[in-house]
Chains A and B, each alone.
Chain A
Amino acid sequence: MTTAIDISNLQKTYPGTPPVQALSHADLEIRDNEFFTLLGPSGCGKTTLLRLIAGFETPTAGSLKLFGEDIAHLPPEARPVNTVFQHYSLFPHMNVLNNVAFGQLRQGKSKSEAKATANEMLELVHLADFASRLPNQLSGGQQQRVALARALAPHPRVLLLDEPLSALDLKLRQSMRTELKRLQKETGITFVFVTHDQEEALAMSDRIAVMSQGKIQQVGDPATIYEFPDNRFVAEFIGDANFFEATSLGGGKYQLARGETVMGPDIGADTNTTATVFFRPEKAELSMEGEGLHGNVSEILYLGNSTDYLVSLVSGETLTVRAENHKDGSALAEIGTDVVVSVDAKAVRVLANR
């Protein structure tokens, strides 16, 4: 498999007092023809990384290669990379067709060729009828699609997308997700997508890099990232999790603070060392009796397709169980009900404390 972007030890520090380390150290390999997502909270360095790839920033140190060629210090116009900007940044003085044709014209293509490609791209994003409109005559979603067409028209080797869906409303965002995925498959261009929305990242990506505080925390496909997070940050940022400080008893048995035990994978930790045990709320089961963690329902959040039960354990900790309601729509338990929370050993994850 060809490597599209090869990043090693890439760093970006902004001068100031004290200097701001936006990207402290990044090693990353983005494959050709993949939908790759940089995911993280604001200020985690994902946008900085994207801007470094686009050429709007120059790295303080490290190397950045595009299909084997070092591009770290090339100006943006010399990189075969295009960007879909968060706020679209369409040229307001040009109509849709001219916006889309802009890149190819600047590359020196003939007017007729640039226009033909532009029309093709508008077809691709279902906006062929809007070619002669001005950007401010379009809705947000339409502008977004024009921005996409404009960035795709010069046939970049890599397409960068900077939170392109964040300004759209929910329904539109969801339909654009499918649209983006379709475009990526149809064009065969490598997409590097930046977002802070974990749901978006899970739904669209082939692989995800989770970032925090200028560092890449974990790289993997969506299922791996969700099911087997490498550290607590990843586990907390992607989805929800119930965390417990525990002591390893050996053989996959862990003792929680107040003496209850849960079974989980054996991570080979020495007996009596501490570890963090966690599981996803939807992997736990709520029952009225039996083996498990005993507690009392303290709050119920009805989410429609599921319900979150906040359970105060006898030990004093709180955990969340996410479960579907009964088929007739009634809740599994009322506030104040004594319940037992059980979780399969296969659903429990353990992080060794360092």
Chain B
Amino acid sequence: MSLQNAIKTHAGLIPALVVIGIFMIVPILIILVYSFLAPGDYGGVKPEFSIDAYQRLLFQKNLFDETVFDPAYLKIAFRSLWVAVVSVVGCLVIGFPVAYYIASQPEARRNTLLLLITIPFWTNLLIRTYCWILVLRDTGLINSALLSLGIINEPLTMLYTEGAIVLGLVYTYVPFMVLPIYASLERLDVRLVEAARDLYCNRWVALRHVVIPLAKPGIIAGSILVFIPALGAFIAPDLLGGGKNLMLGSLVQLQFSSARNWPFGAALAMVIMALVLICLVLYARNIKKGGGGMAH
């Protein structure tokens, strides 16, 4: 009886559950299973249980077939985390003022500006990232301009650096930061800013004490939307980092393609997922703690 009721009341959820199940849970389970199998000789997996893939994350076999600690992949993981965090900060620094500017425009203008924000999505990411190579390389736009103006004598090395990767990621993901922040700023009651000004805040102090705290949900959403893909990104790291600064995303892609070690690739993917989850939990906790107010 109660089961029937439960089915009745939750029947509306079934389509959503089916979609989530098919497109999210099942693929993750497949990856999870793969990560505990042995690699096939030409890619794919062999149906043998193995934890080699996870062991490889931290340990290597040396010449004498002894298992020794090897932090190479750990370093890659930390570098990826670092690059993702810097990209989030970069997107925030650029995205917040842009969102604030758009939100303060008259309504007709706002929609046009939002459309402009989405324009980059109309072109393939690969092509857009290639364009950055043309801009950044030694004979690229920036260097030749600076050289011809006589500001520098030798081309600056910009391409194939960690900075170039961050630049590419910020460029790619900044719309994901702008849109949610815009959404929360648009709902912000401008009269609250007036109230803050009335209570002895200048423009900047009002921004700090009223606008930013109220835009927090958008800032959090934007940060998550940037952080997750930035952590697993491989196009920008490959093209702009030149492959010498290997990142987690590139590493995963490599395992499934040329290295033909699917279990290891799957294990790496699980690690990325775990990292993301850990970061989200830490973030959520931090927000809850800081959400109370200021005079405590």
Contacts and interface: CB of A to CB of B under 8 A. Distances in A.
A14 interface: no
B192 interface: yes
Interface in B280-294: 291-294
B67 interface: no
B213 interface: yes
Contact of B202 (A54, A56, A75, A115): A75
A63 interface: no
Contact of A54 (B198, B209, B213): B198
A230 B22 CA distance: 79
Interface string A67-102: 000000001110001110101011111110110011
Interface stretch (A15-23, A105-113, A175-183): A105-113
A114 interface: yes
Interface string B175-193: 0000000000000010110
The interface residues of chain B, by DSSP majority, are classed as helix
Given A98-B295, A106-B205, A91 B200 contact: no
Interface centre among A83, A106, A111 (most CB of B within 10 A): A106
Given A91-B210, A92-B214, A93-B293, A85 B200 contact: no
Contacts of A92: 192, 214
A215 interface: no
A103 interface: yes
A76 B198 contact: yes
B201 A83 contact: no
Interface in A109-166: 111, 114-115, 150-151, 154
B207 to A, nearest CB: 13
A90 B192 CA distance: 7
Nearest to B216: A93
Interface centre among A98, A101, A102, A151 (most CB of B within 10 A): A102
A144 B213 CA distance: 23
A321 B124 CA distance: 80
Nearest to B192: A89
Interface string B196-218: 11111110010001100110100
Contact of A154 (B191, B195, B199, B213): B199
B199 A102 contact: yes
A77 B205 CA distance: 10
B186 to A, nearest CB: 16
B48 interface: no
B199 A94 contact: no
A77 B295 CA distance: 21
Nearest to B197: A76
B190 to A, nearest CB: 10
A154 B199 CA distance: 8
Contact of B294 (A54, A55, A76, A98): A98
B294 to A, nearest CB: 6
A107 B200 contact: yes
Contact of B293 (A54, A82, A98): A98
Contacts of B293: 93-95, 98
A157 to B, nearest CB: 13
B194 interface: yes
A106 B200 contact: yes
B213 A83 contact: no
Contacts of A56: 194, 197-198
B295 A115 contact: yes
Contacts of A154: 199-200
A82 B199 contact: yes
Contacts of B202: 75, 77
A81 B200 CA distance: 9
9 contacts: A81-B198, A85-B191, A87-B191, A89-B194, A89-B195, A91-B196, A92-B192, A95-B293, A97-B295
Given A77-B201, A83-B198, A94-B294, 17 more contacts: A75-B197, A76-B198, A81-B198, A82-B198, A83-B195, A85-B191, A85-B195, A87-B191, A91-B192, A91-B210, A92-B214, A97-B295, A102-B209, A106-B199, A106-B201, A111-B295, A154-B200
- 4 nearest CB pairs, A to B: A103-B199, A89-B195, A106-B200, A76-B197
Interface of B: 189, 191-192, 194-202, 205, 209-210, 213-214, 216, 291-295
